Amino acid sequence: MKNLSKLIIGIGGNVHSLDGLHPVEVANEALKKIETSNIHVDKVSSWYVSQPIPKSDQPNFFNCVAFCSSQMDEFDVLNKLQLVEYDLGRTRVNVNEPRSIDLDLIDFSGKVVNTKKLILPHPRAHLRKFVMEPIAELEPMWIHPINKLSAKFLSNELNNQIIMIYDKYKNFD
């Protein structure tokens, strides 16, 4: 039997889906689909609201991270995530365009991979408070595989980026 790999998936979106679902609702659907794709969702962070990076006139993003486990390799996991995005209506036309769902493979058991198809750890994760803060919420001492700094340290270094815990009773749309 293959060993279980530990992975971190960044989940987010900033526009309603074609059928009118809020990005958090779309992401919750994505989590259900991930669970049926030989990827076990172990724990999920709180939801955070953040401004788009790079700055633009796009709507705010809603983000969380999921700590998961799987016996698949990193390329199969990436393919499954892209299938889930596609099943939920994600199309890729322009870089950094508004989207109802975005699934990023942030870390895969600490592996460092640099291919045309996949870069691990995610090349900008350590520069994004909306990634580091939820990781730090779940595992503050998670260590970035390249720069060897903890999620808590990296999140604290990104205090110039403003994020808030999402409260579904406040209007962030």
Residue 95 is predicted with a pLDDT of 63
Residue 83 is predicted with a pLDDT of 95
Residue 45 is predicted with a pLDDT of 97
Per-residue pLDDT of the chain (173 residues; tens, 9 = 90+): 578 999 999 999 999 998 999 999 999 999 999 999 899 999 999 999 998 887 888 899 999 999 999 999 999 999 999 999 999 987 766 666 778 899 999 999 999 999 999 999 999 999 999 999 999 999 999 999 999 999 999 999 999 998 999 887 666 55
The answer to whether residue 126 is domain-embedded is yes
Domain that holds residue 95: 5-165
The full 3-state SS of 46-92, as one line of letters, equals CCEEECCCCCCCCCCEEEEEEEEEECCCHHHHHHHHHHHHHHCCCCC
| Residue 108 neighbours by CB under 8 Å, 6+ apart | 5, 6, 7, 74, 77, 120
The answer to whether residue 51 is domain-embedded is yes
Spatial distance between the Cα atoms of 155 and 152, rounded to a whole number of angstroms: 5
The answer to whether residue 171 is domain-embedded is no
Residue 89 is predicted with a pLDDT of 84
Residue 53 is predicted with a pLDDT of 82
The answer to whether residue 173 is domain-embedded is no
Residue 66 dihedral angles phi and psi, to the nearest 5°: -120, 130
Q: What is the CATH number of the domain that holds 62?
A: 3.30.70.560
The answer to whether residue 172 is domain-embedded is no
pTM of the predicted model, to two decimals? 0.93
The answer to whether residue 170 is domain-embedded is no
The answer to whether residue 45 is domain-embedded is yes
Number of structural domains in the chain:
1
| CA-angle at 35, arms to 26 and 28, nearest 5° | 20
The answer to whether residue 114 is domain-embedded is yes
Provide the phi-psi class of 40: left if phi over 0, else alpha when psi is between -120 and 50, else beta: beta
